[in-house]
């Protein structure tokens, strides 16, 4: 893949119609009669129907396929607190990915408000517009409060992707890595380097998958989170270790898994060398991981290595999750995205990586072969099977767990509809782009 330069990026975002997304009409508008139906007087009829039966909003408006990507710009990518407006390109990008991968429409909404209580209030007041809310780039620990409160207040899916997306994708990678190495999830020892939103959520999902809490050691910028620390918030307190260790070097010795959600080059070659046989390293600091791919490979030949980058094997990228999770949740009108749905997404991703890879995917990644193993533990983002596999799993989990308002009866027809939705959308993109 060519190196991304500042000039290329700025040109991409500014050329032609500025930005990356637009709103287009879905109904005819070429005649006076069309316009009379679209607005006045015809629009009054669906308004009155919705007044009588609020659920009819899903029949007469775009609500059921519309997600709000909401941020206050306090934790944008690896850039930090750069403000709501400066974070808008990221939110537009999220909208593009929602549309391209799962045909979900998005309004990106940047809110200039750092007070979590006020942010919650704003989100709750605009919620009637949307079928779901994707919270994005809100710093910890405030993000936990915002998501938790909104989930309590609203009857639509609310999902903070920075927390759960990374957890779901890396959870799939963990399941497959353990299968490859023959290790048992209840026996592995793991080190979580970082204690922000993603790290906390990953750790909680891993517990749900079968990891034992006593086998987790979490490390933040001040050292190991242990019972000597008096500066811990309630989220970090959940992962206090009883082991008498204080440093990352001590923590990784003999560990089976290193989960990095921290900063570049913090895991040394010596630390990696001290880990258990066939270690698993998820080094996901961006743009530069906790240890470089080159250094890791030069240190151990028995490891499974993943990053958040697209130029190395095993990219753990949230795009494998959020479009399809919302697709499934929207399609059954789920009132929330619960733990059952998250686990279903992880397991669906893990399962897909074991299936033969279509020729179209091999061509997209300019390779002759992708086979389940140490360099292929999770599917590629351009795999067209993701929408039917993951969205179906999420939808089924929503139904089984009792949070779906619109159950699916014919699953084969639903999966075919997902494939058709994607192929039709890709065709329309090609026509727009002239390809």
- Strand-pairing partners, residue 224, are 219
- Strand-pairing partners, residue 343, are none
* Separation of alpha carbons 135 and 212, rounded Å: 29
Residue 435: both structure tokens together:
């390809």
The residues, any chain, with a CB within 8 Å of residue 277's CB and separated by 6 or more, are 302
Kindly list the distances between the CA atom of residue 183 and the CA atoms of 84, 206, 256, 349, in Å, as whole numbers in the listed order. 44, 15, 9, 19
Cβ atoms < 10 Å from Cβ of 353? 23
* Separation of alpha carbons 167 and 279, rounded Å: 19
Residue 164: both structure tokens together:
């759960």
Q: Where are the beta strands (DSSP E) in 245-308?
A: 257-260, 280-283, 304-307
Residue 299: both structure tokens together:
């240190």
* Separation of alpha carbons 144 and 149, rounded Å: 8
* Residues noted as catalytic: 39, 94
* Separation of alpha carbons 270 and 129, rounded Å: 53
């Amino acid at each position: 893949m060519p190196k991304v330069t500042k000039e290329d990026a700025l040109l991409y975002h500014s050329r032609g119609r500025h930005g990356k997304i637009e709103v287009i009409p879905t109904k005819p508008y070429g005649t006076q009669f069309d316009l009379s139906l679209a607005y006045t007087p015809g629009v009054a009829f669906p308004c009155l129907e919705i007044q009588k039966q609020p659920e009819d909003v899903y029949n007469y408006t775009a609500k059921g396929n519309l997600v709000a990507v909401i941020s206050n710009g306090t934790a944008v990518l690896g850039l930090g607190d750069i403000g709501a407006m400066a974070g808008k390109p990221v939110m537009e990008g999220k909208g593009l990915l929602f549309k391209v991968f799962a045909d979900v429409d998005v309004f990106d909404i940047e809110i200039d408000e750092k007070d979590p209580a006020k942010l919650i209030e704003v989100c709750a007041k605009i919620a009637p517009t949307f079928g779901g809310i994707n919270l994005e780039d809100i710093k910890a620990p405030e993000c936990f409060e915002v998501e938790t409160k909104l989930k309590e207040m609203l009857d639509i899916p609310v999902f903070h992707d920075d927390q759960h997306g990374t957890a779901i994708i890396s959870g799939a990678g963990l399941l497959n890595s353990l299968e490859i190495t023959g290790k048992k999830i209840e026996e592995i020892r793991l080190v979580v380097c970082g204690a922000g939103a993603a790290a906390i959520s990953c750790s909680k999902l891993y517990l749900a998958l079968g990891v034992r809490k006593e086998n987790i050691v979490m490390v933040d910028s001040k050292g190991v989170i242990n019972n000597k620390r008096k500066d811990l918030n309630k989220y970090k307190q959940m992962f206090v270790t009883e082991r008498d260790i204080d440093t990352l070097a001590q923590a990784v010795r003999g560990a089976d898994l290193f989960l990095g959600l921290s900063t570049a080059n913090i895991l040394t070659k010596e630390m990696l060398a001290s880990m258990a046989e066939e270690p698993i390293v998820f080094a996901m600091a961006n743009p530069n991981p906790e240890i470089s791919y080159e250094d890791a490979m030069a240190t151990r030949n028995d490891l499974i290595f993943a990053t958040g980058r697209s130029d190395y094997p095993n990219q753990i990228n949230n795009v494998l999750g959020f479009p399809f999770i919302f697709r499934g949740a929207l399609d059954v009108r789920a009132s929330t995205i619960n733990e059952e749905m998250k686990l279903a997404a992880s397991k669906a991703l893990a399962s897909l990586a074991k299936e033969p890879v279509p020729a179209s995917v091999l061509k997209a990644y300019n390779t002759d072969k992708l086979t389940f193993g140490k360099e292929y533990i999770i599917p590629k983002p351009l795999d067209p099977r993701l929408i039917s596999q993951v969205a179906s799993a999420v939808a089924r989990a929503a139904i089984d767990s009792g949070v779906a308002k619109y159950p699916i009866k014919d699953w084969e027809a639903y999966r075919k509809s997902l494939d058709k939705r994607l192929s039709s959308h890709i065709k329309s993109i090609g026509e727009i782009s002239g390809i």
